[in-house]
């Protein structure tokens, strides 16, 4: 298979290789490497542990909770979002949602990180779902 790798996939490979390299080192080799870099191993280990614990936390709200909240807040009122008429307009709205920080929750947008592979029907369905959840309104139709 000759599939073109994305930048994210290349980065993941580099990170995996670096982790494997460090994991293959003996404790003595690791200490020697830190000593040569004039770095305190315990300080670095504490920094990494803090970094990991600050990033690996339970999300404030899961996607299911966000969906339930949006449905509860929407109640039976009519959603103001109107799906654009053309495929091009729908793709433009979707691309704007993906590329503009803060329009939607970053955790929600992670589901669309490989959006270039989505069909027009996929994008239409996603926009319909976001609209039904009350996460889009008439201002999200495009400009």
Residue 9 makes CB contacts below 8 A (sequence gap 6+) with none
Question: pLDDT tens digit string along 110-122?
Answer: 666 666 778 888 8
User: What pTM does this model have?
Assistant: 0.41
DSSP 26-44: -HHHHHHHHHHTT--HHHH
Question: pLDDT tens digit string along 76-119?
Answer: 545 567 788 898 988 888 888 877 767 777 667 666 666 677 88
- 116 — alpha (psi -120 to 50), left (phi > 0) or beta? alpha
> Using the 8-state DSSP alphabet, how is residue 134 labeled?
T
């Amino acid at each position: 298979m000759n599939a073109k790798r994305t930048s994210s996939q290349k980065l993941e490979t580099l990170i995996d290789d670096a982790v494997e390299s460090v994991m293959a080192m003996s404790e003595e080799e690791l200490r020697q490497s830190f000593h040569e870099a004039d770095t305190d191993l315990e300080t670095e280990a504490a920094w990494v542990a803090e970094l990991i614990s600050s990033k690996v936390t339970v999300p404030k709200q899961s996607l299911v909770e966000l969906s339930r909240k949006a449905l509860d807040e929407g109640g039976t009122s009519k959603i103001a979002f109107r799906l654009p008429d053309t495929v091009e307009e729908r793709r433009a709205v979707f691309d704007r949602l993906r590329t503009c920080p803060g329009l939607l929750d970053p955790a929600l947008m992670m589901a669309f990180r490989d959006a270039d592979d989505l069909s027009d029907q996929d994008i239409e369905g996603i926009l319909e779902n976001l609209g039904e959840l009350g996460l889009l309104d008439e201002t999200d139709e495009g400009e």
